[in-house]
Amino acid sequence: MATTARTLPAERGRGGRTWYPVVALLLILLGVGIYAYLEELSEGMAVTGLRNLGPQGGATWGLYITFVIYFVGLSFAGISTAALIRLAKIDKLRPIVRMAELLTVICLMLAAMTIVADLGQPLRGIVNLFRYARPQSPFFGTFTLVISGYLFASLVYLYLDGRRDAAVRAAEGAPYRGFLRAWAAGYSDTEPERVRHRRASFWLSIAIVPLLVTAHSTLGFVFGLQVGRPGWYSALQAPAFVMLAGVSGLGMLIILAAIARRSLHLQARLGLPMFRTLGIFMFVSLLVYLYFVGVELLTNLYTGSVRERDVLRELLGGDYAWLYWSAIAGFVIAAALLVAWLAVQQLRTHIWPLVVAGVLVNLGAMAKRFLIVVPSQTEGQLLPYADGSYAPSWTEYAVIGGLLALGVLLFLGFAKVFPIIPLPEEGDDGKVVT
């Protein structure tokens, strides 16, 4: 056990040559983001590109809300992986469960911060959202189910799942022993403890599976329930949110797993069968999502109201067409790549088609989130206001860039002090047959 563990990423100094420049770059990005947010705090949200709907011809929700949805979408990865392992007994995915949970936790924290960045009165928001909470508002679900329930469940899962590794690492005398001891909290890897742990994680994963659907649906309802917004008001909004969350979350997980495999030299542990499982799940989600897109397009083209068609026209051939068709192209190319990967013998032994597809669907997801949020506000007014426009300001880009950098930093920081890939258990010698 000790020899296997020593090659694992928790060892300090591994990958040191590229680690420090990368961290420095991320810190700079984070600094710029913090500066931009401080400017927004002192000058007001006038420094963003957001403006009022109607007479002011702007969009009042823009890049921030786009990324709130994107971040929450990515968090899909953690719970789905945990559930697949525990409930569907897909043990192949076990090596990436911690990475997936970490991705969920970090993305939910980023989403919460992005919401705060979008509030006109952030301090008042943090107090009043608890003090005067109204369950009738679809936002209530975003704060309770998504940010609190989902995040809490994922943290508990991450904690329980990591106790054994913490105990093992602490016993080996790894760095940050105090932290590892605190995490292990007396765990000593005896058989009854293992059984109890396995049972606890099993029931926890059953408990959090409903969250998978409800939490992502809640965010869809924020948009889908608005009768006054053509392009939002649709019963398909919530299911489509869940599916695109699945596509982007699994895509991001594939990217992260590929990076870990390469940089930590874990070709054996993170083997092809695991990537194949992830790839197939992503492929199926992507097909279902594309089907939803088609259904929505057909319905709106065939029977949409005048305003509904106005918004659609802007998407298909107007100001937003380049973004719309790029997103669709990204999804379709990703799907085609996955078909080729499944069908062609020579491609099947590579993981690059999966990584490329993962990148494409994530870029597509960002674009699609933007296209859900913005055009309905600038082009979808029900009263005859002139068409509006919205372009994010550098402040918004900088804040989002800073948040993304913070996410990567948290990920790297965690990987530095804790085994990002679970230590092999008995009967699992770290070699997975490819």
Partner 1 sequence: MTRYGMSIDLDKCMGCRACMEACKVENSTPPGSFFMYVFRLEQGEYPSARVSFLPRPCMHCDNAPCVKVCPVGARYKREDGIVATDWDRCIGCRYCEVACPYGVNTFNWMDPAENTYLDYDDADVAAVTGGVVPPYRNPALEEPYGPEQRMIAGGGHSRGVMEKCTFCVHRVEDGLDPACVQTCPVRALTFGDLDDPTSAVSRAIQGRTGFRLLEEAGTEPRVHYVGGAAPGPEAREVDEPVTEV
Query: Per CB under 8 A, which region of 57-65, 72-80, 239-247, 312-320 contacts partner 1?
Result: 57-65
Should residue 226 be labelled a site residue for partner 1 when binding is judged by CB under 8 A? Answer: yes
Residues 34-53, interacting with partner 1 (CB under 8 A): 43-46, 48, 50-53
Give least dist CB 385 to partner 1, A: 6
Should residue 178 be labelled a site residue for partner 1 when binding is judged by CB under 8 A? Answer: no
Relative orientation angle of helices 151-172 and 97-118, to the nearest 10 degrees: 130
Residues 248/73, Cβ–Cβ less than 8 Å: yes
Residues 323/366, Cβ–Cβ less than 8 Å: no
Query: Per CB under 8 A, which region of 219-227, 284-292, 322-330, 345-353 contacts partner 1?
Result: 219-227
Contacting residue, 128, 148, 188, 299, with partner 1 by CB under 8 A = 128
Residues 270-299, interacting with partner 1 (CB under 8 A): none
Residues 405/30, Cβ–Cβ less than 8 Å: yes
Closest to 69 (Cα-Cα) out of 148, 142, 155 = 142
Distance CA(249)–CA(111), nearest Å, equals 14
- Dihedral of alpha carbons 419, 407, 212, 208, sign: positive
Residues 251/362, Cβ–Cβ less than 8 Å: yes
Q: Which is nearer to partner 1, 122 or 401 (CB)?
A: 122
Tell me which H or E stretch contains 331.
helix 321-343
Give least dist CB 371 to partner 1, A: 15
Query: Per CB under 8 A, which region of 96-104, 114-122, 205-213, 346-354 contacts partner 1?
Result: 114-122
Give least dist CB 31 to partner 1, A: 24
Size of the site for partner 1 (CB under 8 A): 51
Residues 256/415, Cβ–Cβ less than 8 Å: no
Query: Per CB under 8 A, which region of 116-124, 167-175, 398-406, 426-434 contacts partner 1?
Result: 116-124
Question: How many residues appear in the chain?
Answer: 434
- Report the b/e string of 133-171 with b at 16+ CB within 10 A: eeeeebbebbbbbbbebbbebbebbbebbbbbbbbbbbe
Three-state SS for 115-143 is: HHHHCCCHHHHHHHHHHCCCCCCHHHHHH
Query: Per CB under 8 A, which region of 203-211, 226-234, 350-358, 360-368 contacts partner 1?
Result: 226-234
Should residue 56 be labelled a site residue for partner 1 when binding is judged by CB under 8 A? Answer: yes
Contacting residue, 9, 58, 95, 249, with partner 1 by CB under 8 A = 58
Distance CA(70)–CA(383), nearest Å, equals 30
Should residue 192 be labelled a site residue for partner 1 when binding is judged by CB under 8 A? Answer: no
What DSSP string describes 354-403? HHHHHHHHHHHHHHHHHHHHSHHHHT--SS-PPP------HHHHHHHHHH
Should residue 391 be labelled a site residue for partner 1 when binding is judged by CB under 8 A? Answer: no
Give least dist CB 345 to partner 1, A: 50
Should residue 134 be labelled a site residue for partner 1 when binding is judged by CB under 8 A? Answer: yes
Give least dist CB 129 to partner 1, A: 6
Residues that bind partner 1 (CB under 8 A): 43-46, 48, 50-58, 60-61, 115, 118-122, 124-125, 128-129, 131-134, 136-140, 143, 222, 226-229, 306-307, 377, 381-386, 388
